[in-house]
Structure 1
């Protein structure tokens, strides 16, 4: 059952100040036991419109086998989400089927759903209490989809730092609502231009032990990124995006 405290906390987390837009250079490391980490470089652009729409463009720049691959996500104010992927080998933009919420993005531990903006109203929220994570006493927040079909997860449990409103840990439950299938841990966070920012995080598949680590090499907020950057045309034509690279 949802409670008012849980709903209010979920809204505060969602409303956390993170700038009108952000541009970041990120290293993605795919880590599995017995193998050297596979490293990828990517650029991530995010723009929040005043009316509530959130747009994100991801572009891989290294290594050669993934260079140029891009993902565009447009999350409407009403919670509707649309995604398109660009694969250089195919030389065309392809829409990501909305039913592919649980599809793995470029063989990482991130699902397509994990890369979408999620409105608090899409879940029922409940405050479970307080627990310490990495020396920080966090509010523990449970979130369960209002409609089972709107998420690949049955529930999520987040450990929220009350000072920054950043989740320091999130457990994701897919098949068994009592046994998490994935866990996100924040390894490092900093204030950049006054905004609390996750600089290093690890998402672990608890079944296989496979990990995806995202490390932010640089980030800049409030650069007045234009709406045209978040279009299928810019997704397909890297020249439209290059001028905004950090």
Structure 2
């Protein structure tokens, strides 16, 4: 299917009554490594629609474009730019996931016309008012967690393995644990529950709503991320996805983040 590009980890949260299943830590780690390594092209360009849903208020709609490239040895770069509406247009985020599992992020705010680095202690901060945390936009390597299979469940009409993932170093994440529903045959995630306060009640839940094969790569076309406490929801819908365009390294720089004209040349 061609070279692989690490897919950033998605997010979510929920209560779980696990089915009886033997616990095999090695099998769980292998499955999560397959999810991490699932083929998704040398690079990807995606235009999307983001809807922020809040009870009693009209939906806030945003348009954005994102670029991602695999640099080899587990390193990946990602650039996100908001295009609409006017009050957020131009805002961008650059994430550099390094081979050793560390990450650096920079945010560009047009009204201030400056790039600032996102401090590691802001990993739980919300990204431009959505239910996404800055941490959620970073690639998390499977070795950063201890994994175990805890059951099976049907999601979207698909039988999934349920994997519990607990951080090796609790200080480097806002989540106490994650529960991930994985379609083993495709190594594709259908749901993720994220636990922040305790190990019983999840705080967020990400759910796959629709998917499609584009250029031979399975692509998440629609997803929902819900704050289970407030009910606030972030919906993402892919309008166009392009793979293997040979995106250049200069696109994933602070200069390109600050200068929209550099990035605009690569929009679909």
Structure 1-normalised TM-score?
Answer: 0.98
Structure-2 residue corresponding to 1:109: 131
- Size of the alignment, in residue pairs? 246
2:50 corresponds to 1:28: yes
Residues 43-82 of structure 1: pairs in structure 2 closer than 5 A: 43-82=65-104
Q: Tell me which stretches of 4 or more aligned residues in structure 1 moved more than 3 Å.
A: none
Deviation at 1:2, TM superposition (A): 7.3
Higher relative contact order (CA 8 A, sep 6+): 2
Give the Cα–Cα distance (whole angstroms) in 1 for the partners of residues 24 and 118 of structure 2: 32
CA RMSD, 1 decimal: 1.0
Q: Is the 8 A contact 1:140 1:158 kept in 2?
A: yes
Give the Cα–Cα distance (whole angstroms) in 1 for the partners of residues 196 and 151 of structure 2: 22
Structure-1 residue corresponding to 2:166: 144
| Candidates 47, 50, 60, aligned match of 1:38 | 60
Partner of 2:125: helix, strand, or coil?
A: coil
Q: Is the 8 A contact 2:31 2:184 kept in 1?
A: no
2:194 corresponds to 1:172: yes
CA distances 1:195-236 after superposition (whole Å, capped 9, x unpaired): 111000000000000000000000000000011100000000
Structure-1 residue corresponding to 2:257: 235
CA distances 1:134-163 after superposition (whole Å, capped 9, x unpaired): 210001011110000111000000000122
Extract unaligned runs of 5+ from structure 2: 1-22
Structure 2-normalised TM-score?
Answer: 0.90
Extract unaligned runs of 5+ from structure 1: none
